[in-house]
């Protein structure tokens, strides 16, 4: 955080509070988000600042004070680590018992890094994709980013995925997820996707990837050194008859508002990939019908399909971001009312599938 000059406009106390929270919850932000997406004239209430930077009330007063005291007292790293571990566990690192549930077996072995929740869909967590360009402070995947192997869901073996899918001809959808799988180099992604284009995987009709690269690093599709190779791979999948979709994380219309974000969207659409947007309804970021209506409308104009609206999950900084269900319903309803009917219909809150 010391390397971000814009933070100097905050008080020393505010910067210290952010450091306390970032000791427990993961924090990462890149220069594109800092320079292009945050309105520094409106910090700390700016929604993109809230999205990416730690805030004091993300921790309970008890947890906050515990870490603040250790940092004030210059406690050893070991003492801090012990306290941090004690705090992370009650934050429910993997809600709904994810580390245990939905993990399939093959040849008598548990397939770590794969989840098979519903018959048609397999989720795959490639090890190279278990981080993101920046971290969202609300993210229910936060435990993937804290460097604790015990908490991480990840697979590094493409063959295991392919063997499992070859045997399961009732699976039609593969969702490659993270973190952000598009943080991977195209050559790594190719190892997972290319074999699925062969005849023995004809039953896999849809390949989806959960990503926030269109928002946090649109350069991924435009100027990165392997951007062309990535688009080529997506095109190859489409030419092989697959339906390919990016499940794009969006939380605010601001993320759609830069030239390079628009360009990235058109590059992806040009190769025939569908972009479906998804994101949770969050206090401090987008708990307003106007924000959702403007975001959905802009997405439709850019050719993105508004697809999922979630509510905050029972994990991490939920206490800071959660919105009562009744209020969430009102916001959804009011936002839909503002949009031209017939253009699209977003899936309502209760119809939720895998991410
Ligand atoms: S980009 Fe997606 S997976 Fe990564 S931190 Fe944000 S919400 Fe979580």
CA of 30 to the centre of ligand 1 (A): 13
CA of 146 to the centre of ligand 1 (A): 13
CA of 179 to the centre of ligand 1 (A): 6
Q: Which residues are CB-contacts of 140 (< 8 A; sequence separation ≥ 6)?
A: 95, 312, 313, 315, 316
Mapped onto helix, strand or coil, the DSSP state of residue 278 is strand
* Integer Cα distance of 284 and 292 in angstroms: 13
The DSSP output letter for 143 is G
Separation of CA 285 from chain center = 15
CA of 243 to the centre of ligand 1 (A): 23
Q: What CATH number labels 95-250+257-277?
A: 3.20.20.70
Where is average pLDDT lowest: 108-112, 153-157, 183-187, 345-349? 345-349
Closest-lying ligand 1 atom to the alpha carbon of residue 212: 1
The tokens describing 200, both together, are 């023995």
Domain boundaries, the chain: 5-91, 95-250+257-277
Q: Which residues line ligand 1 (CB under 6 A)?
A: 132, 135-136, 139, 141, 178-180, 212, 249
* Integer Cα distance of 253 and 238 in angstroms: 29
Closest-lying ligand 1 atom to the alpha carbon of residue 210: 2
Beta bridge partners of 279: 309
Q: Residue 115: its pLDDT value, please? A: 93
Residue 350: pLDDT over 50: no
**Closest residue to atom 6 of ligand 1, CA basis:** 136
Q: Residue 352: its pLDDT value, please? A: 42
pLDDT over 90 for what percent of the chain? 78
* Integer Cα distance of 158 and 127 in angstroms: 10
74 vs 314, more confident: 74
**Closest residue to atom 1 of ligand 1, CA basis:** 212
CA of 94 to the centre of ligand 1 (A): 14
């Amino acid at each position: 955080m010391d390397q971000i000059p814009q933070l100097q406009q905050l008080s020393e106390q505010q910067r210290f509070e952010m450091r306390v929270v970032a000791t427990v919850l993961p924090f990462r932000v890149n220069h594109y988000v800092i320079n292009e997406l945050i309105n520094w004239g409106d910090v700390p209430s700016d929604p993109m600042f809230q999205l990416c930077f730690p805030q004091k009330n993300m921790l309970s007063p008890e947890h906050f004070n515990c870490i603040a005291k250790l940092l004030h007292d210059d406690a050893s790293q070991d003492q801090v680590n012990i306290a941090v571990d004690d705090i992370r566990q009650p934050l429910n690192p993997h809600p709904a018992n994810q580390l245990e549930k939905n993990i399939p077996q093959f040849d008598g072995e548990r397939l770590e890094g794969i989840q098979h929740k519903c018959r048609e869909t397999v989720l795959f967590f490639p090890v190279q994709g278990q981080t993101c360009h920046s971290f969202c402070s609300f993210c229910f995947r936060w435990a993937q980013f804290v460097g604790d192997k015990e908490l991480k869901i990840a697979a590094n073996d493409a063959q295991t995925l392919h063997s499992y899918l070859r045997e399961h001809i009732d699976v039609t959808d593969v969702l490659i997820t993270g973190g952000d799988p598009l943080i991977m180099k195209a050559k790594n992604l190719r190892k997972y996707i290319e074999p699925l284009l062969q005849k023995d995987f004809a039953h896999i009709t849809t390949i989806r990837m959960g990503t926030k690269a269109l928002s946090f690093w649109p350069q991924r599709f435009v100027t990165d050194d392997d951007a062309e190779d990535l688009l080529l791979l997506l095109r190859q999948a489409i030419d092989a008859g697959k339906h390919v979709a990016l499940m794009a994380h969006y939380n605010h219309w601001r993320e759609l508002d830069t030239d390079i974000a628009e360009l990235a969207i058109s590059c992806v659409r040009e190769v025939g990939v569908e972009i479906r947007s998804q994101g949770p309804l969050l206090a401090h970021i987008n708990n307003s019908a106007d924000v959702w209506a403007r975001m959905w409308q802009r997405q439709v104009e850019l050719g993105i399909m508004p697809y999922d609206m979630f509510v905050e999950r029972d994990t991490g900084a939920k206490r800071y971001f959660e919105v009562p269900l009744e209020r969430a319903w009102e916001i959804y309803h009011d936002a839909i009312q503002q949009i031209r009917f017939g253009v699209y219909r977003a899936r309502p809150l209760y119809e939720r599938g895998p991410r």
